[in-house]
Structures are given as C-alpha cells and as structure tokens.
Amino acid sequence: ESGISGDKSDANRGLSDYWVVKTDANGSKLWDEDYGGADDDKVHCVPQTMDGGYLLAGHTYSNQNGDISQPNRGLNDYWIVKLSSTAPSQNYFKDADGDGYGNLNGDTLSFSQPPGYVLNSSDCNDANSNIHPGKSDVCNGIDDDCNSIIDQNEITGAAIIPEGSISECPGIPVLLTAYPSTGVSYQWLKNGQPIPGATNRKFTTEEAGFFEVVEMNNFNCAATPNGVSINRITSPEAIITPNGLVNLCVGSTTTLSANYNSVYSYQWYKGTTKIVGATNPVYSTNSGGSYTVAESFGSNCSSVSSPTVISLAPKPSAEITVFGNLDICSTGTVTLKTNIGSGYTYQWKKGFSNIEGATNKAYTANMPGNYKVVITNSYGCSKMSPVITVYKSCKMEGSSEPTQPLLVTFPNPSDGQFTINLHLNDPTDATATMHLINLLGQNVFTAVAPIIDGELNYGIQINNEVPEGIYLLQVLINNVNYSTRLQLIN
C-alpha cells in the first residue's frame, strides 16, 4: 500500500499492489516494480517459468485500470502477471503537465512505462505544458524551449538609416530605411503615433517630425530602434542690395550684397554665366550687365534673386580755359572757365579745399594757388579737372623780397602720371632733385631734372608699385627745398 518511500521507488496504483524486488547474489537491491489497479491487489506466489521469467499469481478486486489490461469477471478475480526473463528495467520520468517531456527529479525504475511517465527527462518546467524542448521560443522573458536561453529569437541589428540630409527644405522627400530587411513586419510612427498604411520597410516623408519604426517578428519579439528627427528649414530667399537698375560711373566700382546667412552657399552670375570664384555674400564689379545671385542650403534648397542691372554712366569732361594771365602780378585777377553740359554742377577748389560759393562754370581767382574744378553730371558721376596754377612773380606790396616760387603739380590727384612746374625768381640754369615721401617718412621715388632759365617743367610717370595715398613731393634746388602735397589714386 506504500507509495514511493524507503526501498520502494515506484508509486502505488491503488489500495494494495503487487511489489516485486530483484536483488543480486549478495542481497543488494537491483530494482523494484509496482503492479496493480485502483483497488485491492495481492500476490500469493511467484513461480519461475521455464524461460527464466516469473509469474506473479494472486487476486484482484480492481477493474480494468492501472496495470490491469482486462475487465474483471466479478468481485474478486485471479490476476496473473508474466515477467520476462530478458526485459530490462528502465528509468521513467514524471510528466505532470502531459507535454511528453519528463521531470529529471521525478524518476522511477520500471520494466514498463507507468502512466504519467515518459522516458525523457528534458522538461525544464513540468508545471506548464507550453514550456518544453522543441517549443518555439517567443519573447516573453521565459526559456520556452528549455535550452537555457531566454528570448533567443529577439530582433538584432534594428536601425533606421536616412538617405541624404535630415535637414531639408519643405517639400523635399526624405527616405528612411529600416533594418533588418527580412523576417520582420514594420509600423512607422511620427511623434509617437502610428502612421496609417506605413508598414513597408522603406518610408518616405516630406514632413518634419520625429520618426520611429516598430519591428515585430513571428516570435512575438519587438524592437524599436533609435528614431530620426527630420527638420524642415526655411528656404533661402535671394535678394540683392541694391536691386533694380543701378547707374555706375565709368571707372568706378560698386558692391552688390546678398542677404546673409552663415549656412548658405552663394554663386554670382552675370547674365546666365557663372562668375568663377564669386561665391561670397558680396560681389564687387566695375562692369555693366545683369547680375543675379543663387543662394543654396544643402543639396536641394536654393533660390535665385531677381536681377540687378548695372548701367555704366559716362563721366563728364572737365577742362579749364584761362582768360587772362596766370601771373596776376599786374592784373590782380584771372578768370577761369570750364566746359558746360546739360545737367552739370560745379565746385571750384583751391588746393584741396572747396571754395565757398564757387559753383558756377566760371571763377575769378585773385590769389595765387592751385585751382581746379569738379564737374558732376546728371548721373551723379564726377570728374576733376587738371590743376591750373595762378601765381605772382612780382614783389608783394610793402615787401622788398620777391614772392616765394610756387611748386605746382597737375593733375592732382593723379593716377601716377603728372607734371611738376616751378618758376624761380632767378632765371638761371640748375639741377632739381625730386623725392616722393610717404606718411611714414619713407622715400618711395626719386628723379632728377634740369632747370632751364629758372623754370622746372618736368613730366613724371610712377608705376603701380607705389600705392595710392597722400605723399609729400620735395624738390631740392641749390640746397633750397620746395614742397607740396600730392595725392595718388589708382
């Protein structure tokens, strides 16, 4: 009537069962086996058969159940069990959940398979029929197939790869591709919300937002790789300042400026021709034509400005005609007249200073000095005339000394080609040494010229190596120094 305990390693079948024990020659137990049904079963004798086996002879009150394979004939029947001489005993393992896989810790040794037992012992959870070897391992935090690996079919290598820039202009499509490429289903999300119909591996959008994808395989395993933020930038709106029609005086330079943004790229055009190297926000030119600028950001955002048309306007001519004698020793005045033109305005200058009120086409000079006129036409273009030198060769009134000779350069300002004129009070021959000195006191040019009959009249050509600026011109004659200012412009 005992269950598994003590020397008995096989569970009982009912009230009382047959219990067979085999020992070796020394009496040590080799195996034991329980036979019976649900009721009372008792063995009375165990004769050996001629084939070396045994008969278990007794009676039973059990019906067809347990180890009894035939129905009973009445209340108490004979029941004979034949044991083979060759049938080996085996370990069987309890299969409590009925999934066909036994528990290693619930074994029994038997000639035949007891009910509820199986030959294998590979079940890792005998209380759950959904957990056993051969079961598909799904992602649930459990080792479903008893191989000591939890969720072995999880998705690996999940990622989103954008093609191209993720900062684009509105309306430019951005393609997102999910990985892995096979064995999973996809659902794309924007800002955490599913996008209806977006269930393919590749997803294209023209919108801004935070995009993710949820991937799912056949083992209930899900993966959500790092999302991608797509920014929609403001498209450039190219504008040139100044815009429209611009009048530019011949020989002058104007600067065109595009609206600036540190992330923009620029390319200037004259007409339809790209200007090589003109890739800055500003462009300077002295040439007429139609100019545009293309502004771009990234590979697809661009804008082309409306054209700025530069029209070259002519400068007026500016010449002075002398009416009278430049030596005003006897006359006291001399009249200077310049050319006239439609829309011209005038400004007379003595030296580098404007003469107040001297804005007519003629001016009467009553003082020695260097005179010139600036003429401006209706386009706003100006030109300065060559210098006219008015002087007095006689003694000043009340003075016994002759007037100081006046050193004159013209034109002044000069582009590097100018004439030096000096009248000495003594009509002798001599040699003049001329120096051009910059504001740092450095001599940048030297020339020597003859003086004939007390007059120096010498033309000079200075190359472009001398930069534009204000210089001091010194003329040294017989240890006497004469000087004046000279402005060079390129």
Contact status, residue 328 vs residue 335, Cβ threshold 8 Å: no
- Residue 211 · residue 228 · CB < 8 Å: yes
For the stretch 376-390, pLDDT in tens is: 999 999 999 988 888
CATH architecture of the domain covering 407-488 = Sandwich (2.60)
Task: Find the mean pLDDT for residues 464-485.
Answer: 87
Express each pLDDT in 195-236 by its tens digit: 999 999 999 999 999 999 999 999 999 999 999 999 887 788
> Above pLDDT 70, what percent of the chain?
96
Nearest Cα neighbor of 316 from 291, 337, 294, 341 is 341
Lowest-pLDDT choice from 85-94, 172-181, 373-382, 463-472: 85-94
Strand partners, 384: 374
Cα–Cα distance measured from residue 280 to residue 295, given in angstroms and rounded to the nearest whole number = 10
CA 313 and chain centroid, separation: 45
Q: Residue 15 — pLDDT band, cuts 50, 70, 90? A: confident
Q: Whole-angstrom Cα distance, residue 381 to residue 297?
A: 39
Non-local CB neighbours of 63 within 8 Å, separated by 6+ positions: 37, 38, 39, 71, 72
pLDDT surpasses 70 at 86: no
Q: With bands split at pLDDT 50, 70 and 90, how would you rate the model's confidence at 403?
A: low
Residue 10 is predicted with a pLDDT of: 76
List the one residue out of 320, 185, 168 whose CA is nearest residue 230: 168
Mean per-residue pLDDT over the chain, rounded:
89
Options 3.10.180.10, 2.60.40.10, 3.40.50.300, 2.30.38.10; which CATH number does 240-313 get?
A: 2.60.40.10
- pLDDT score of 294 more than 60: yes
Give pLDDT, residue 402: 52
Instruction: Check residue 95 and give its pLDDT.
Output: 92
More confident call, 321 vs 62: 321
Q: What CA–CA distance (Å, rounded) separates 420 from 456?
A: 7
**333 contacts 365 by C-beta, under 8 angstroms:** yes
| Spatial distance between the Cα atoms of 150 and 175, rounded to a whole number of angstroms | 35
With a cut of 90, say whether residue 307 has pLDDT above it: yes
The distance from CA 251 to its chain's CA centroid, rounded to whole angstroms, is 43
Torsion sign (Cα): 58, 64, 66, 69 = positive
pLDDT (0 to 100) of residue 397: 52
- For 411, phi and psi rounded to 5 degrees? -75, 155
**Predicted confidence (pLDDT) per residue in 417-435, tens digit:** 899 988 887 777 889 999 9
| Euclidean distance between CA atoms 332 and 318, whole angstroms | 25
Strands 265-270 and 289-297: antiparallel
Q: Where in the chain is the domain with CATH 2.60.40.10?
A: 159-232, 240-313, 320-390
CA 139 – CA 153 distance, rounded (Å)? 7
Domain 159-232, CATH = 2.60.40.10
Say yes or no: domain 320-390 is CATH 2.60.40.10.
yes
Range list for CATH 2.60.40.3080 in the chain: 407-488
With a CB cutoff of 8 Å and minimum separation 6, the contacts of 222 are: 139, 155, 214, 215, 216
